[in-house]
Each structure stands twice: as structure tokens, then as C-alpha cells.
């Protein structure tokens, strides 16, 4: 495995992503990894390392800007909320991040999948909603708010996998049904796996705040990773 930091820019900011490549063999495909609300962290870097071990190139993007990270709830909200409320800007930064990953690896859309965690799960769904250069997306304990900058009848061509904790207070059962109805209306090839007795951030080993709704679940973490592996084999080959 080889890893490196990748600095990239748009007209607004400079960003700092993380790229992990498998050994000497050519990558099977490219997985672009979206971070939670605090910004790119060791969690996403570890995901990239695990994916490279499976033979994929993996790029964890930085959607906030170089050095912009949150620690407290207030800091994380201050980073996430402006993008969650300006989906056109969010989608533009996602497009830049995907293009950077594809340029760095030489892998095109037909072998690119976007995934993401928490806020990154919303980002993955927006990659599909906006028709960005991915053939599939997977959302782990993501947020389900529809993108208000896109027409309701925009069809989704990327395959969609949603991995969800049924007891997630940030995406309750009503919101879960809502995103399923949205995917159906937009003619997506979608699937949703909901894990019982599972809250938000179930893949994050450091999550242990039931009052806030974030609790790590070893079983849901392992099961969702298996689902992702199957999805990547189906979509990328």
C-alpha cells in the first residue's frame, strides 16, 4: 500500500485530501470517501487504507478546506451547516474532489463509487442526485435531506446503497421512508439496509453518547462493511 496527501483547489479554497493505493497491481477501481461533520479524520483515512487492502484506490476528500476541522458540536455545526444549506456549493466541491481523485489515479467514472459517513453520507447521496461522475454511491448513517437546488423529477442513474441505523435520531423512520420514496420517484436502482437497535455513527469506534444519539455498534459496523464490499463488486466488478 502507498499513501499520500493530495492538495487541490477550486476558485474559493485549497483542500487537503488523502489517497491510498494498493500494492503493485493496478487498482480494481476508485472509491471516493466523504467525511463526517468534523472534517477529514483518521476514521476516513483508515477506511481508505482498508479499501486499498481490498485492491481499490481510495481518496478521502476534504470538503471544508485545508486545516478547517471541528472538535466541538458548535464547531462542527459551523462547518457543516453552510454547505448543508447551500447544496449547489456542496455539489460543486464534491465534483472538484471527484475530479481530483480521478486525475490522481487515472480511473474514470465507470469505475468510481462515492461513499460517505454521517454528513459524508448526505454528500454521497448528493453525488447521485446531482449526476456527478460516479456509477454508484453508498451512504453510511447519512442524513436524508433532499437537495433543494435540483428539480424533483431529476432521474438518478448511479446505483444507491443506504446503510442506516433504524434508531438514528438524526434520520428517523419518517425521514428513512422519505428518502426511499425520493429514490423511487427518481427511478434510482436503490437498496436500503436498516440495522435494528442501532443509532447514528454506528461505524465510529469513538461514538458513545446515547443522549446525543451517536453510539458505535460492532455488529452494524461489520455488517455494513460486508454490504459495501458486495456493492463494490457489483458496481465496479
Domains and CATH numbers, the chain: 2-235 (3.40.50.1820)
**Residue 68 confidence (pLDDT):** 97
pLDDT reported for residue 202: 98
The sign of the dihedral angle between the CA atoms of 153, 188, 91, 9 is negative
pLDDT of 153: 86
* Residue 84 CB burial class (10 angstroms; 0-12, 13-18, ≥19): middle
C-alpha span between 171 and 176 (Å, rounded): 6
pTM: 0.97
Phi and psi, residue 140, nearest 5°: -100, 125
The Cα 122–Cα 141 span in angstroms is 9
Q: State how far Cα 189 lies from the chain centre.
A: 18
Per-residue pLDDT of the chain in tens (237 residues, 90 and over written 9): 999 999 999 999 999 999 999 988 899 999 999 999 999 999 999 999 999 999 999 999 999 999 999 999 999 999 999 999 999 999 999 999 999 999 999 999 999 999 999 999 999 999 999 999 999 999 999 999 999 999 988 999 999 999 999 999 999 999 999 999 999 999 999 999 999 999 999 999 999 999 999 999 999 999 999 999 999 999 998
Amino acid at each position: 500500500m502507498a499513501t499520500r496527501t493530495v492538495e487541490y483547489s477550486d476558485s474559493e479554497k485549497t483542500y487537503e485530501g488523502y489517497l491510498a493505493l494498493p500494492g503493485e497491481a493496478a487498482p480494481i477501481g476508485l472509491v471516493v470517501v466523504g467525511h463526517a461533520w468534523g472534517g477529514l479524520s483518521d476514521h476516513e483515512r483508515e477506511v481508505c487504507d482498508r479499501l486499498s487492502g481490498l485492491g481499490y484506490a481510495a481518496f478521502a476528500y476534504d470538503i471544508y478546506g485545508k486545516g478547517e476541522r471541528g472538535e466541538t458540536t458548535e464547531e462542527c455545526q459551523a462547518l457543516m451547516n453552510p454547505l448543508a444549506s447551500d447544496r449547489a456549493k456542496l455539489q460543486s466541491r464534491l465534483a472538484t474532489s471527484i475530479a481530483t481523485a480521478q486525475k490522481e489515479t487515472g480511473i474514470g467514472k465507470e469505475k468510481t463509487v462515492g461513499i460517505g459517513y454521517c454528513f459524508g453520507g448526505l454528500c454521497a447521496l448528493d453525488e447521485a442526485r446531482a449526476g456527478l461522475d460516479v456509477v454508484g454511491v453508498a451512504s453510511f448513517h447519512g442524513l436524508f435531506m433532499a437537495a433543494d437546488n435540483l428539480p424533483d423529477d431529476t432521474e438518478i442513474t448511479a446505483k444507491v446503497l443506504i446503510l442506516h441505523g433504524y434508531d438514528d435520531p438524526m434520520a428517523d423512520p419518517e425521514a428513512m421512508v422519505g428518502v426511499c420514496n425520493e429514490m423511487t420517484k427518481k427511478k434510482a436502482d436503490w437498496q436500503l439496509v436498516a440495522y435494528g437497535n442501532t443509532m447514528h455513527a454506528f461505524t465510529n469506534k469513538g461514538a458513545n453518547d446515547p443522549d446525543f444519539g451517536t453510539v458505535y455498534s460492532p455488529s452494524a459496523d461489520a455488517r455494513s462493511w460486508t454490504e459495501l464490499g458486495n456493492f463494490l463488486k457489483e458496481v465496479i466488478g
